[in-house]
Structure 1
Amino acid sequence: MKILSKFGSPLLCSIFLFFISMMMLVFGIYGAVNSGSYLVEWQFFSLCGTDWTLPIIIDYVSVTFSCFVCLISGSVSLFSMSYMEGEVFIRRFMLLIMGFVSSMNLLIFIPSLVTILLGWDGLGIVSFALVIYYQNKKSLAAGMLTVLANRIGDALLILAICFLVNWGEWRFGYGLFGDFGVLVSLLVVVGAMTKSAQIPFSAWLPAAMAAPTPVSALVHSSTLVTAGVYLVIRFYSTLSESPEVLWALSKIGGLTLLMAGLSACYEVDLKKIIALSTLSQLGLMMFTVGIGYPAIAVFHLFTHALFKALLFLCAGSIIHSTGDVQDGRILGSISQLLPFSSGCLILSSAALCGVPFLSGFYSKDLILEGAFSGLTGVVEVAVVLVGAGLSLVYSLRILLMAVFGQSFGSSLISFGSESSYVVVSIFVLAVGAVFGGWFLQGLWVAVSGFDVVGSFGKGIIIVVTFGGLLYVGISHLKAWKFWLVTVSGVARFFSSMWFMNMISGSLMAGSGLKGGVLAHLYLDQGWMEVFGGQGVFSVVKSGTGLSYAVQKGSLLIYTRIFMVIIVLSMVIFMF
């Protein structure tokens, strides 16, 4: 009973979410085998021939996605029992987590752009509350950056809803074409890019690492950042009518993939490296949708959710056990201190890199085959191949620094051990990271792969997958002088996310602040004071003074008023 009184809310939430996940898994298997899709529409208001309905789509994509969201959320809730052990407001924290999961499920199951805005806004509001949870200056700045970037997407979705009035329908399960088809597609895609942190809205994703690690595991694996990708995939039937929008989406996705991969190779913060790897994989998903493979993008979305949540929980276990140390230059020798967490960290990194027969291999290999088979340019394919190959480089940096490197931290007296809640939550996701891709590909015929790639293409894919092992040779041979000579000139450019922090963070926020200061000086304290409150007050004051002077009862004043009235009357009658 003592455990229930202290950890009742996260434990009950975890059990509930695991139960919902198992139910969704059964329905998802049934839907994938029978390829059934149902649209349930509930009419709750009708007036003057206008019906207000709530549509709910039930197919294997939505059910499977909801299953993964609940599974990861349950593991995060169980992990929070150890990570948030000393938290006073643990019930408030779990309430925010459940609100996050509810908003995501609302976005998953409802194919109406008006109703989906509720889940979209709910994700933005709850993410702001979770990012600023620690209530310090760093988390507040990160929360403001997150919520402002998401508000741009909200405004663009509202504009898309306004233009959809031309069709008289806000559902997007079918193709829309007409006068505003390209404009609506562009608004939806750019709005989704703000949620998925594509260029130039990439600055908020690494900044959101100020949130607690369980929140990062949930936000950066299966909920907030994947909402934009999921919306684009659901909207694909309309996007296929606008090939120019898909063309731009593939280019932006490829650049985001390359930018995030290069930045992760220079980052030293453990959580930010994983956040940049998330950004890189989101760019890969957007690129996949842009070249015409939405089913494979959904497949990679599912597998990525499993191994990325595992990666964040392993990193959170390491940070929690080492006394909140997440600088890779200090961490080291974790393999001897935390063998289970470090082993699962290696497993999740291998799945991220696309090592054969793990979850990431099945989807990543299909994407690279699709890039070779699609009608993409040589430069675009080269960018994607380099960006995909960098995943092994920054994964090896994590392992060489944190797991196998030398520790430069404090004494071992500050280290803790892994609790049973951490072990169980990590084990559940580790099973998914190993068997999830194989299980989904066996059930889902659409992602079994039908592209024919020659031996040269397969060789290139193998080089891309394992080419990052050269990083190990460079690090062991101490060839850092050659490395510094070759890339030191562009190191600042690569390490700063191609100055995306300045563009989408400092530039936008700085312009807004300067504009606010100017508006305050020249409007609030300037013209609006002249024509507004102070101006009206001075006019009324003058009028009151004149009225008071007229009503003093002086004979001289009455004589002057009488003479003025006579003169004005004569002037009026003369003209």
Structure 2
Amino acid sequence: MMKFVEVFGAPLLCSVFLFFVSLMLWVFGFCGIVGNGGSYMIEWQFFYLCGVDWTLPIVVDHISVVFSCFVCLISGSVSLFSVSYMEGEMFLRRFMLLVMAFVSSMNLLIFVPSLVTVLLGWDGLGIVSFALVIFYQNKKSLAAGMLTVLVNRIGDALLILSICFLINWGEWSFGYGLFDSFGVIICWLVVLGAMTKSAQIPFSAWLPAAMAAPTPVSALVHSSTLVTAGVYLVIRFYSSLVESPEVLWFLSKMGGLTLLMAGLSACFEVDLKKIIALSTLSQLGLMMFTVGIGYPMIAVFHLFTHALFKALLFLCAGSIIHSTGDNQDGRILGSLDQLLPFSSGCLVLSSVVLCGMPFLSGFYSKDLILEGAFSGFSGSFEVFVLLVGAGLSLVYSLRISLTGVFGQSFGSSLCFFMVESSYVVISIYVLVIGAIVGGWFLQLVWVAVNGFDLVGLLGKMVIGFVTFLGLVYLLMSLLKVWKVEESLLSVFDWFLSSMWFMNLVSGSLMSGVGLKGGLSMHLCLDLGWMEVLGGQGALKALGKGISFIYTMQSGSLLTFLRVFLVFAGFILVIFPLSF
């Protein structure tokens, strides 16, 4: 018993603590904040210097309370899941310390509306995510970690620049609609920084690469914490962004392109975890598009429902990978409905929620987004991209189910299969309840969100048709019409499966060119010209100068005559008119 507590005490203790915090936020937050419909600002002043008030503000409203509640709930489920998944891991306590640091950084980002203190949580997420991605110490993990931290550092630099411009206001809180000549620049910096953290085009390569991390980390990072930090930043400061419509126009275009690119790439991917990562990227593009067309509250609604079912999807995939001997290739997996009925059933359920099945969590927010796009002022091309992206969600959800669960198994013998432990079952059950009833309950909380727009009968029919458009893929799979698919898509297969060459644009360009440029600068500047112009060059110049001065002061008449002639010639050249 003592040995069990010593080995698994850390994840169990963290799980109980996070579940308790989530319950307290649910009870007191919903009774005091959400129930009354108010919001509170708590502010501590440290000192007042040069006209700038240095304070620590904390905002407590329905968005921050619900978001923090969901983050703690998902983190508690991930910690409980880690008891089984990380079994036998030598550095389990270190892993749990990193997870708790990650959750703390995210909560700091959620509750603080000041850009200076947001930067603390923002930097904390970037640094801890690097440590979590390289947790398995191999070349693939290190390359993914370097790509992740380099892209995140771009966002950090952009936020620091926006803080520098905020000095002109003498105020660090950006979300109050303050605006002047620097307002547009600050809005651009904040939006571009948020795009790096949420992996929008052209910063999309790091998110699928971060799948090198352990599956509990993927469930935490890609559902409710790191990737949603950029979306949350844009939503929190929307009152200032709305005063520069060109920034929101750009955000909606990039979000729509990311939605389309990730959806098409997920339809050609074979790795189970990468399909789920690309679906996360697609949903992030959908959230950014929703904010860009002017519906931040619906984007918050979709952010919360997405966190529930995407964490469930990752945990189910992690249970399958762990039970099948660390195998995540969809071409090998199969027949899991008979071998692992619980995990595969919950995987199918989470896929159904992802594609927007009516009356499950994903349906409410997705339907509202489509209604808002139809009744808003967005262009026809944006609506077309949104409809195609919404239809593709059912296609890659069906690919997960058909290849991994219901297909034929080409893997190893049954002796390598393991049964899910009770910790895995409990952690998945918690998120299953949230995926089924979370959207309905949040719709009751967000009463103002439901019924923003009214579309006609034709619009509702189009929304329903697009939601189930991916069933064409199921029909092709059942009829085995693979020749049609090959003839139609063979030309674009390479382009679509490579994320529109985003790996070359933001991956190789960010890490490869940066690292090679740093190496060449080290060889050419640090060990080359800087040595000539710097330390060694200064030493040689100083030595030659001392020897020259020593020669001039040698006391020889011939030397004095030469110095006099040189000095006289110099005077005649510089001041010719004076003589």
Q: TM-score, normalised by structure 2?
A: 0.95
| CA–CA separation in structure 1 for the residues paired with 2:566 and 2:466 | 95
CA deviation profile, 1:407-439 (whole Å, cap 9, x unmatched): 100111111110000000000000000010001
Cα gap change, 1:162 to 1:558, in 2 (>3 Å): closer
2:41 aligns with 39
Contact 1:291 1:375 in 2 (8 A): yes
Cα gap change, 1:546 to 1:345, in 2 (>3 Å): same
Contact 2:256 2:386 in 1 (8 A): yes
> Within the alignment, does 1:427 sit opposite 2:446 as a pair?
no
| CA–CA separation in structure 2 for the residues paired with 1:15 and 1:468 | 40
Q: Which moved more, 1:44-53 or 1:562-571?
A: 562-571
User: Which residue type is aligned with residue 439 of structure 2?
Assistant: G
2:300 aligns with 298
Q: Which moved more, 1:474-483 or 1:116-125?
A: 474-483
2:577 aligns with none
2:363 aligns with 361
Q: 1:566: how far off?
A: 5.3
1:554 aligns with none
1:25 aligns with 26
2:281 aligns with 279
Contact 1:32 1:444 in 2 (8 A): no
Cα gap change, 1:48 to 1:459, in 2 (>3 Å): closer
Contact 2:323 2:417 in 1 (8 A): yes
Q: 1:509: how far off?
A: 2.9
- Matched ranges for 1:352-431 at <5 A: 352-431=354-433
| CA–CA separation in structure 2 for the residues paired with 1:375 and 1:43 | 43
| CA–CA separation in structure 2 for the residues paired with 1:303 and 1:573 | 87
| CA–CA separation in structure 2 for the residues paired with 1:29 and 1:235 | 23
State the secondary structure of the residue aligned to 2:44. strand
CA deviation profile, 1:193-222 (whole Å, cap 9, x unmatched): 000000000000000000000000000000
CA deviation profile, 1:456-485 (whole Å, cap 9, x unmatched): 111111111111111111012111111111
Q: 1:525: how far off?
A: 3.6
Q: Which moved more, 1:41-50 or 1:193-202?
A: 41-50
Indicate which of 558, 563, 566 corresponds to 1:568: 563
Contact 2:51 2:170 in 1 (8 A): no
User: Which residue type is aligned with residue 388 of structure 1?
Assistant: A
| CA–CA separation in structure 2 for the residues paired with 1:510 and 1:138 | 14
| CA–CA separation in structure 2 for the residues paired with 1:49 and 1:469 | 62
Contact 2:150 2:511 in 1 (8 A): no
1:102 aligns with 104
Cα gap change, 1:66 to 1:564, in 2 (>3 Å): same
- Matched ranges for 1:36-435 at <5 A: 36-47=38-49, 50-435=52-437
Cα gap change, 1:566 to 1:405, in 2 (>3 Å): same
Q: Which moved more, 1:504-513 or 1:370-379?
A: 504-513
Q: TM-score, normalised by structure 1?
A: 0.96
Contact 1:29 1:443 in 2 (8 A): no
CA deviation profile, 1:476-497 (whole Å, cap 9, x unmatched): 2111111111111011111000
| CA–CA separation in structure 1 for the residues paired with 2:90 and 2:516 | 39
Contact 1:133 1:211 in 2 (8 A): yes
RMSD: 1.8
Q: 1:508: how far off?
A: 3.1
State the secondary structure of the residue aligned to 1:55. strand
Contact 2:53 2:170 in 1 (8 A): no
Q: 1:47: how far off?
A: 4.3
| CA–CA separation in structure 1 for the residues paired with 2:120 and 2:106 | 10
Q: 1:48: how far off?
A: 5.9
Q: 1:49: how far off?
A: 5.6
State the secondary structure of the residue aligned to 1:355. coil
| CA–CA separation in structure 1 for the residues paired with 2:261 and 2:188 | 23
Q: 1:444: how far off?
A: 1.9
| CA–CA separation in structure 2 for the residues paired with 1:241 and 1:49 | 26
CA deviation profile, 1:101-130 (whole Å, cap 9, x unmatched): 000000000000011000000000000000
Contact 1:172 1:234 in 2 (8 A): no
| CA–CA separation in structure 2 for the residues paired with 1:271 and 1:100 | 21
Unaligned runs of at least 5 residues, structure 1: 552-556
Unaligned runs of at least 5 residues, structure 2: 572-579
Contact 2:151 2:510 in 1 (8 A): no
Residues matched between the structures, number: 568
User: Which residue type is aligned with residue 563 of structure 2?
Assistant: L
State the secondary structure of the residue aligned to 1:34. coil
User: Which residue type is aligned with residue 26 of structure 2?
Assistant: L
> Within the alignment, does 1:467 sit opposite 2:469 as a pair?
yes
- Identity score, percent: 74
User: Which residue type is aligned with residue 516 of structure 1?
Assistant: G
Q: 1:538: how far off?
A: 2.4
Cα gap change, 1:417 to 1:570, in 2 (>3 Å): closer
User: Which residue type is aligned with residue 157 of structure 2?
Assistant: A
| CA–CA separation in structure 2 for the residues paired with 1:248 and 1:445 | 29
| CA–CA separation in structure 2 for the residues paired with 1:518 and 1:343 | 53
User: Which residue type is aligned with residue 385 of structure 1?
Assistant: L
| CA–CA separation in structure 2 for the residues paired with 1:260 and 1:49 | 47
Cα gap change, 1:537 to 1:423, in 2 (>3 Å): same
Q: Which moved more, 1:294-303 or 1:499-508?
A: 499-508
Contact 2:15 2:80 in 1 (8 A): yes
| CA–CA separation in structure 2 for the residues paired with 1:500 and 1:281 | 17
| CA–CA separation in structure 1 for the residues paired with 2:568 and 2:387 | 91
Cα gap change, 1:573 to 1:219, in 2 (>3 Å): closer
State the secondary structure of the residue aligned to 2:473. helix
| CA–CA separation in structure 1 for the residues paired with 2:407 and 2:435 | 25
State the secondary structure of the residue aligned to 1:56. strand
